[in-house]
């Protein structure tokens, strides 16, 4: 395993691959399979992984508890870094935030959290953080030793990211979604550069875009097969992220031993700026293949929400893009289980009355009602 450091904490040696505990193995009743998860943690430790990322809502609030139990049982608390997050959406006061943090310590069976993030920062969440005085709480927790390194994870547009970085100088790291597809489309490549210029290192989430880049459509598999350098799709995806010199660690939600071992091998061999021009052109070709199939340039910023008729505009567009990028729409409209649920919940494109209120709010200038009508044509339910 290769190790990297954050600019603001050069003495901390972080494994290039981190274990994200959001998609753990499950039992038939949908609860976390403890023994299989423990096996994955053991493999991770054997391979040199030392960064473990969990959060308050993961697996219905049980991810933290399972991690804490495994870490105590293995006796490895002093050998790893634990990352956890403050769920801004569940908080209405500084006291509530302090209470949740205390519960997190209990669930993790520890007296401190190494890396603590303001979870899923957006424009609205950042304003809420400031309004409730949550930064002072973070400062107090750090001063007491209960938090070692404060940071934030992010889901919004580049201008909001820059605002948070500029207004939160105490942040020592950030976490963003980055992969060879989202880097340019969502602007996260520029976010990472902006943070690095201010001494903030980056943790990457979704390097394989929820598994899409690990098990891509045939068109992408053909591109990689034709490359001189032979790698599995997941290796291409992780390699692209890890070759970025400003990325300290990339998280992966590995649910099987073979995934853990393969990703660890990749993380043990990819150093910054190690991809050749030819390899980067292969990645560019794969990204272009996907981009040609993206139907709408929605970034999920949710500036268009709430819709007066309850259409979940970002969710509809996300599913349309997902279906198109997977190749499911190449022969025309196709059935989408995801869209069926969106529609059943009363948030489908069928609710749109073309009031156009959303269009004036969209940073991407998307013709939203027209695009919703197209999505409605292509996404079918059984």
* Tens-digit pLDDT profile for residues 286-321: 999 988 888 987 767 677 999 999 999 999 998 998
CA distance 347 to 342: 5
The owner of tokens 């709010």 is 361
Tell me the pTM: 0.83
- Say what the pLDDT of residue 21 is: 96
Confidence tier at 187 by pLDDT (50, 70, 90): low
Residue 251 lies in a domain: yes
CA distance 293 to 280: 20
- Asked whether the beta carbons of 25 and 36 are under 8 A apart, the reply is yes
Lowest mean pLDDT, pick from 43-57, 143-157, 209-223: 209-223
Residue 335 lies in a domain: yes
Question: What SS3 state is found at 150?
Answer: strand
Residue 159 lies in a domain: yes
Residue 374 lies in a domain: yes
pLDDT in tens, 27-37: 999 899 999 99
Asked if pLDDT for residue 241 goes beyond 70, the answer is yes
Same domain as 326, residue 182: no
Same domain as 172, residue 46: yes
Residue 93 lies in a domain: yes
Same domain as 240, residue 370: no
- Asked whether the beta carbons of 33 and 27 are under 8 A apart, the reply is yes
Same domain as 109, residue 225: yes
Domain boundary among 229, 251, 286: 286
CA distance 47 to 65: 23
Asked if pLDDT for residue 42 goes beyond 70, the answer is yes
Asked if pLDDT for residue 67 goes beyond 90, the answer is yes
Q: How many C-beta atoms surround the C-beta of residue 381 within 10 A?
A: 13
pLDDT in tens, 165-181: 999 999 999 999 899 98
Same domain as 166, residue 22: yes
CATH number, residue 136: 3.20.20.100
Same domain as 353, residue 216: no
Q: Which residues of 318-349 are buried (b: 16+ CB within 10 A; e: fewer)?
A: bbbbbbbbbebbeeeebebeebbebbeeebbb
Residue 319's domain comprises 313-380
Tokens in use for 321? 């893009």
Asked if pLDDT for residue 185 goes beyond 60, the answer is no
Checking DSSP bridges between strand 9-15 and strand 3-6, what pairing results, if any? antiparallel
- Asked whether the beta carbons of 378 and 323 are under 8 A apart, the reply is yes
Query: What mean pLDDT value characterizes the chain?
Result: 93
Confidence tier at 365 by pLDDT (50, 70, 90): confident
Residue 197 lies in a domain: yes
- What letter does residue 26 receive in the DSSP assignment? B
Residue 86 lies in a domain: yes
Same domain as 277, residue 364: no
Tokens in use for 229? 């350098």
Same domain as 228, residue 112: yes
Count of structural domains within the chain: 2
Residue 96 lies in a domain: yes
Q: What is the mean pLDDT of residues 319-335?
A: 89
CA distance 371 to 261: 42
């Amino acid at each position: 395993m290769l190790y990297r450091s954050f600019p603001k904490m050069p003495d901390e040696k972080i494994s290039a691959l981190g274990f994200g505990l959001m998609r753990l193995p499950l039992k038939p009743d949908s609860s976390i399979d403890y023994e299989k998860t423990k096996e994955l943690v053991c493999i991770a430790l054997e391979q040199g992984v030392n960064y473990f990322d969990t959060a308050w809502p993961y697996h219905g609030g049980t991810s933290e508890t399972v991690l804490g139990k495994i870490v105590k049982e293995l006796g490895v608390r002093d050998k790893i870094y634990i990352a956890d997050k403050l769920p801004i959406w569940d908080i209405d006061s500084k006291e509530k935030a302090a209470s949740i943090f205390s519960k997190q310590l209990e669930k993790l069976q520890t007296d401190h959290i190494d890396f603590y993030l303001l979870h899923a920062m957006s424009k609205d969440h950042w304003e809420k953080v400031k309004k409730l005085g949550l930064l002072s709480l973070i400062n107090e927790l750090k001063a007491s030793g209960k938090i070692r390194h404060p940071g934030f994870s992010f889901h919004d547009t580049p201008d909001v990211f820059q605002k948070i970085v500029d207004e939160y100088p105490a942040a020592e790291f950030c976490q963003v979604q980055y992969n060879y597809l989202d880097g340019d489309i969502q602007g996260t490549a520029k976010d990472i550069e902006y943070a690095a210029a201010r001494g903030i290192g980056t943790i990457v989430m979704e390097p394989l875009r929820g598994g899409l880049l690990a098990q891509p459509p045939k068109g992408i598999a053909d591109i990689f097969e034709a490359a001189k350098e032979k790698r599995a799709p997941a290796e291409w995806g992780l390699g692209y992220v890890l070759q970025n010199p400003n990325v300290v660690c990339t998280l992966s939600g590995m649910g099987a031993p073979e995934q853990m071992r393969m990703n660890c091998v990749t993380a043990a061999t990819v150093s910054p700026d190690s991809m050749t021009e030819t390899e980067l052109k292969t990645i560019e070709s794969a990204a272009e293949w996907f981009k040609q199939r993206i139907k709408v340039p929605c970034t999920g910023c949710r500036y268009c929400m709430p819709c007066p008729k309850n259409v979940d505009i970002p969710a509809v567009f996300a599913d349309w893009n997902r279906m198109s990028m997977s190749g499911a729409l190449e022969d025309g409209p196709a059935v989408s289980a995801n869209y069926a649920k969106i529609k059943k919940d009363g948030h489908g494109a069928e609710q749109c009355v073309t009031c156009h209120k959303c269009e004036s709010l969209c940073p991407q200038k998307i013709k939203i009602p027209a695009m919703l009508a197209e999505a409605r044509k292509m996404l079918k339910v059984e």
